[in-house]
Amino acid sequence: MAYQLGVLLLAMFVSVPLQAQAQAPILSFESNAALYDRDAGLMEPSGLAIRPDGGFWTVSDDTDSILEIERTGEVSRIGPSQVLFDDLEGIVYDRQSGWLLVVSESGREILLVDPETLTARGRFPLSAMRGADGLNLKGDGPEGIAIRKDGTVVVVLERQRLLLEISSDLSEILHLIRLDAEIGFSAPGVKDRHLDVSGITFDDQRSALWILSDTGQAVYFLEDGKDWATRYDLVFTEDGKTDRVSNAEGIAVSADGKTLSIVTDDGSSSRLLRYLIR
């Protein structure tokens, strides 16, 4: 009984691996900032990318622009409105090319964006890519995007829990991976058909994906070449109270692999959460 109580108290502040992997990293909650600005159009945070200076780019799926935010959650810059920026759900910064890649859920496409002007410079519909035959995009568009160290682009479809590996030139879908219970994508009390994926980022230091689930209130750690994902139930503290994370929508890992940042789409209670990885 004493052992069980000790584990419970630890889990309130530290996200330990709940589906064990040897040498899996441990997440510990560090900070929590408010992330809601109606005047700036930041009302439904949906994606997150880390700027080279340590700040962030984010998108809000009801806003036709890309926003820059600081670690405090304050909006520091708003890009110009664009017709192509409709229902944006995920964003990633390609450190090799210097471009931003953004996904539009309703457009079922990847947009190439200039980070200086925050304007679109190209569009790449998923349906036009080689290898898209048989891909079901009706009612389920891209929800998150990441870039592997080798330049391969990774996109996830929310309700199908389908991971698409796409060539670096965005011309071909190379592989499809089903994120199902057989490889660890499950959550206690959540029926399989209700478990979703809502965000994704690639960890260069560990050659692994961190994959968010809104309905599962968890993040999954999936190393390249492994066939099992480690689940972490997400918690945060506010005013001395610890609670589960609701509506997690965007995720980004720092270049040095030491921190994981998450945004939630929770109305006026939306947050920018930061975790230490060790």
- Round to whole Å and give the CA distance between 204 and 86: 30
Class of domain 30-277: mainly beta
Judge contact between 263 and 272, C-beta under 8 A: yes
- Round to whole Å and give the CA distance between 184 and 151: 26
Gyration radius from the chain CA atoms:
18
**Residue 24 confidence (pLDDT):** 86
SS3 104: strand
Instruction: Return the percentage of the chain with pLDDT > 90, whole number.
Output: 88
Q: How is the chain split into domains, by residue range?
A: 30-277
pLDDT (tens, 9 = 90+) of the chain, 278 residues, equals 333 333 333 344 456 565 445 578 999 999 999 999 999 999 999 999 999 999 999 999 999 999 999 999 999 999 999 999 999 999 999 999 999 999 999 999 999 999 999 999 999 999 999 999 989 998 889 999 999 999 999 999 999 999 999 999 999 999 999 999 999 999 999 999 999 999 999 999 999 999 999 999 999 999 999 999 999 999 999 999 999 999 999 999 999 999 999 999 999 999 999 999 99
3-class secondary structure for 152-210?
CEEEEECCCCEEEEECCCCCEEEEEEECCHHHCCCECCECHHHCCCCEEEEECCCCEEE
From the list 223, 220, 222, 242, the residue with the least C-alpha distance to 233 is 220
Structure tokens at 130: 């080689």
Model's pTM, two decimal places? 0.92
CA angle 252, 159, 51 (to 5 degrees): 15
Beta bridge partners of 250: 263
Phi/psi at 86 (nearest 5 deg)? -115, 125
Greatest alpha-carbon pair distance for the chain in Å reads 59
